[in-house]
Amino acid sequence: MSVTITYSNSKHSYSKLFNLYFFIFGLIAVIAVSIASSWFLYSNYSSQAIQLKIAKTQQKYQQQADQVLALRQETDLKIAVFASKVGMMQAEVNRLSLLGDELAKDASLTRGEFDFMLKPAIGGPVDTDTSYAVDLQTLLEEMDLLSLEVNNRSQQLSLLETMLLNHNITDEAVLSGRPVIERGSWLSSHYGVRKDPFTGRETMHKGVDFAGDNGMKIIATGAGVVTWSGRRSGYGLLIEINHGNGLSSRYAHSKELIAKEGDVVGKGQTIAIMGSSGRSTGPHVHYEVLKSGRQVDPKRYVYR
């Protein structure tokens, strides 16, 4: 079967004989190629769209993973801070326990209420709250126990202080006199605003200075309990004595400390040796009197 196609115009005429089957086959082939090309383009577009969705999903998951990692790092940091605080509290409990135990021994008090090495009797039901991580929960529980222990130790020390001061050293606890009485010592700096010997600027001097020779004896101006014996920034080697009723005294810049933390000292007892440790320009004792934790002018006590 064939088909003749004739084309003519005013000058020429053309005729072409085509096989109908061949024409149909060619038309089908062209349509098939078009469909295949379209399908390929569509398939390729769909594949790219799927890959894009996958990439976006992976990116989202990666962002979530980064957030989880940041949260974990922040949590670890907080746990480390908690652990550090627990360690500091434990060290303070140990210090209070040793101090209290020494005071109780010196006062020959019976064991029991003043047994600082005995853990306080406490208890309570099991906490069923599981909303916190195990490590964090454990740290919080330890902090609670340490807080109770610190409070218990503080109450014991307060009561012990009252008993000691009331029974043993009440008469001598009144501050009076100078912390150094050897010949050749003198008052070298008063309480109040003065020029700082290191910077030359006007600064507040919260004590009085008694200068003398290196090696002179420093004495307690009142009876009390030694609550600090060691080095402190600016003060050098420092002795601090609690005289009860919110009153305490400090003796700084020593070259040697004789009294130890927990010692019960009497008025006039040698507690240190004069030197020039810490922020000092020469041998002297920096003497402070504190009421309720704040420095006051020691002059009224020195000349009492």
Domain of 262: which CATH number?
2.70.70.10
State yes or no: pLDDT of 194 exceeds 60. yes
pLDDT score of 217 more than 80: yes
Matching residue, tokens 């150094």: 180
163 and 116 together in one domain: yes
Domain membership of residue 173 (yes or no) is: no
pLDDT tens track for 147-184: 766 666 666 666 666 555 555 545 556 788 999 999 99
* Neighbouring residues of 10: CB distance < 8 A, sequence distance ≥ 6: none
Is the same domain home to 113 and 145?
Answer: yes
225 domain residue, yes or no: yes
For the full predicted model, state whether its pTM sits above 0.75. Answer: no
Domain count, the chain: 2
* Last-in-domain residue among 123, 138, 168: 168
Mean pLDDT value of segment 117-131:
54
| 206 shares a domain with 158 | no
- Is 139 in the same domain as 222? no
For 35-80, write each residue's pLDDT tens digit. 666 665 555 555 566 666 666 766 776 777 777 777 777 777 777 7
Q: Same domain for 88 and 60? A: yes
20 pLDDT above the threshold of 50: yes
Place of tokens 């006051």: 296
Task: Output the pLDDT for position 133.
Answer: 46
Phi, psi (rounded to 5 degrees) for 128: -95, 5
Pure H helices in the chain:
20-106, 134-167, 299-302
Q: What is the domain extent for residue 247?
A: 186-302
Quick one: tokens of 294? 């704040």
pLDDT at 116 over 80: no
Decide if pLDDT at 187 tops 50: yes
Q: What is the CA radius of gyration of the chain?
A: 45
End-to-end CA distance of the chain: 143
Same domain, 242 and 149: no
